[in-house]
Amino acid sequence: MFRRLILAAPLLVLAACGPADKPAGSKTAAPAIAPAPAMATRKDASGAVDRFTPYVGGPLMLDEFSVGPVMAQTDFSLDAIKPRFPKAVVKSAFLHQGSGEPTPIITVEQGGGMIEIQGNPGTTKVGDIRVSGGAPKGPRGETLGMKWADAGMDYPRCWAGKDRDVHAVICTQPGEPVLRYVFGVPGWTQEAMPPEATLRDKAVLREFLWRGGAPVQ
């Protein structure tokens, strides 16, 4: 019996020298992995839109505060717009509508899409921005061609368009007056607002309109 206890003693010593149990909640350190760079105007892990990286392709993210890398603080000038769209054709143009003087605009063409940027009256900054074609994407995943019934719009937040948007319907989301959704309504030729049933059946998202100035209808 005494001999067995003597033989067991080294085993107890070795067990005492083994790795101690880790306290609850401790974590094993893992090698740091650098996150992949986000594409221009994609959302990061926190859900925030990257407004500071030039747009080079992919979905053009829009929200209440920006159209891709263009924000209300962006100067209305070719020098300010071109670096934000390094792979696009960016040029000055004029928007002709109605009988008044043509409106100076800056156009951005890339990937089959067109962005029309106006100046904000009385300032040197950008104003209204219209996005058609290409791959723009709204804050809730809205894309061009989406049906009104699938876009989560409320009928009381929509109104009949006018001027270049005549026969179309413009909608906003609650608490977001700046970003507008322009829906075409095939076959609708009246200037009055179509019935909700008509919107659900026929209306599709054709453009985004971002109001850089004071949001008015």
Start-end of H helices in 18-164:
78-81
Residue 35 has pLDDT above 60, yes or no: no
Q: How sure is the predictor about 71, in pLDDT bands with cuts at 50, 70 and 90? A: very high
**Using the 8-state DSSP alphabet, how is residue 151 labeled?**
T
Locate 64 and state its tokens.
């209440």
When mean pLDDT is compared over 97-106, 174-183, 208-217, the highest value belongs to 174-183
pLDDT above 80 (res 19): no
Backbone angles phi, psi at 128, to 5 degrees: -65, 140
Least confident of 11-15, 57-61, 207-211: 11-15
pLDDT at position 15 over 90? no
Residue 113 has pLDDT above 80, yes or no: yes
The pTM is what?
Answer: 0.77
- Backbone φ and ψ of 105, nearest 5°: -140, 165
Which of 216, 41, 40 minimizes the C-alpha distance to 128?
216
**Exposed, middle or buried: residue 88 (CB in 10 Å: 0-12, 13-18, 19+)?**
buried
pLDDT of the residue at 133:
97
What is the predicted pLDDT for the residue at 98? 73
53 and 105 Cβ atoms separated by less than 8 Å: no
Predicted confidence band of residue 51 (pLDDT cuts 50, 70, 90): confident
* pLDDT score of 142: 97
